[in-house]
């Protein structure tokens, strides 16, 4: 029973981590860079929606499309105005650019919402109701998170494998130069991918905010770290690998945290994240390219 309740309680965090991880993976595959600013961009987009819908007393789920639009505009702007001009910069240089964006968006968010974040910014989530299934309590908010995540992932993966945009993304991810030579508009593909990734990240931020008592300008930092860990653990060779790893990371954390209920292991409660990261590092030692690495086939 305790184990089942642990899995149920981890549903919102799994959903948030999965969406954040996929957003990071999509940008990495099309732009060959790890976006360290993903968390603050997602927080910025979500704060605008949350503030507007709180003032209007509207339920948060009605604001999800607006969050996607804001994230899409911000992500596309970053790619077109900033990354397109630094296209030939080395990978480490691109990562430094994203680190600079962290400061920019953190500063903008702090200025716009400074008064609201003095003691934390609370808001209405999706639902406060609890559904009873036998002796098991299931928060309705968790079901909202799960449903939204499944819909978003289903739409995106169908788009990746059954649309021209998805074919362009996969071609660009495989080899941008060759894709460009074959007539793929890699600039449009990259811009759309950045916009879509930031839109998905905005959804993850709103879902995460819905399960927290209050939020601050840096409330997505821990999710950003877990998403990076999941991306590395799953490997960037596929789109689904990091997503599967993103399910495993929060579940591992919850299972390890369960040990704290025993007096002998009470100290573990403060070391859960450290233990999870050490396990991930050990796994990466044996699988440097991730658990779902694909064997490259070369034709001679």
Is residue 119 included in any domain, yes or no?
yes
Is residue 238 included in any domain, yes or no?
no
Residue 263 has pLDDT above 70, yes or no: yes
Q: pLDDT-based confidence at 155, cuts 50/70/90?
A: very high
Write out the E strands in 64-219. Answer: 130-133, 136-139
The Cα–Cα gap between 269 and 230 comes to 21
How large a percentage of the chain has pLDDT more than 90?
Answer: 15
The Cα–Cα gap between 247 and 227 comes to 10
Residue 115 has pLDDT above 80, yes or no: no
This prediction has a pTM of 0.88
Total count of domains within the chain: 1
User: Given this model, what pLDDT does residue 37 score?
Assistant: 87
| Domain assignment of residue 163, given as a range | 2-219
Is residue 289 included in any domain, yes or no?
no
Number of H helices, E strands in the chain: 12, 2
The Cα–Cα gap between 154 and 164 comes to 17
Is residue 230 included in any domain, yes or no?
no
Is residue 260 included in any domain, yes or no?
no
The CA dihedral of 250, 252, 254, 258, to the nearest 10 degrees, is 180
pLDDT in tens, 190-247: 889 999 999 999 999 888 887 765 677 788 888 888 899 899 888 888 888 899 999 9
Q: Which residue has the higher pLDDT, 258 or 75?
A: 75
Q: Which residue has the higher pLDDT, 90 or 83?
A: 83
Q: pLDDT-based confidence at 94, cuts 50/70/90?
A: confident
pLDDT in tens, 121-133: 555 566 667 777 6
Q: Angle of helix 221-234 relative to helix 38-56, nearest 10 degrees?
A: 130
Is residue 274 included in any domain, yes or no?
no
- The least confident of 68-77, 94-103, 147-156, 208-217 is 208-217
Supply the Cα-derived Rg of the chain in whole angstroms: 20
DSSP characters over 214-278: -B-TTTTHHHHHHHHHHHHHH-TTSSHHHHHHHHHHHHHHHHHHHGGGSGGGGGGGGTHHHHHHH
């Amino acid at each position: 029973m305790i184990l089942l309740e642990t899995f149920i309680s981890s549903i919102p965090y799994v959903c948030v981590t999965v969406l954040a991880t996929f957003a990071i993976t999509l940008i990495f595959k099309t732009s060959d860079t790890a976006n360290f600013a993903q968390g603050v961009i997602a927080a910025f987009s979500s704060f605008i929606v949350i503030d507007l819908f709180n003032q209007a007393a509207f339920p948060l789920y009605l604001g999800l499309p607006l969050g996607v639009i804001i994230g899409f505009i911000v992500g596309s702007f970053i790619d077109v105005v900033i990354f397109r001009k630094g296209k030939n910069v080395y990978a480490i240089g691109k990562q430094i650019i994203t680190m600079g964006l962290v400061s920019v968006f953190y500063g903008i968010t702090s200025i716009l919402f400074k008064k609201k974040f003095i003691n934390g910014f609370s808001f209405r989530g999706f639902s406060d109701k609890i559904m009873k299934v036998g002796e098991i309590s299931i928060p309705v908010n968790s079901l909202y998170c799960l449903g939204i995540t499944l819909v978003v992932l289903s739409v995106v993966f169908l788009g990746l494998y059954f649309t021209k945009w998805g074919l362009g993304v996969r071609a660009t991810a495989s080899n941008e130069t060759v894709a460009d030579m074959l007539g793929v508009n890699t600039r449009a593909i990259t811009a759309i991918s950045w916009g879509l990734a930031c839109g998905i990240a905005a959804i993850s931020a709103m879902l995460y905010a819905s399960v927290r008592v209050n939020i601050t300008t840096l409330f997505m930092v821990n999710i950003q770290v877990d998403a990076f860990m999941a991306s590395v653990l799953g490997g960037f060779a596929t789109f689904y690998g990091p997503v599967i790893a993103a399910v495993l990371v929060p579940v591992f954390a919850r299972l390890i945290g369960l040990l704290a209920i025993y007096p002998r292991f009470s100290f573990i409660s403060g070391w859960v994240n450290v233990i999870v990261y050490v396990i991930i590092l050990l796994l990466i030692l044996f699988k440097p390219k991730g658990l779902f690495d694909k064997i490259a086939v070369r034709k001679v």
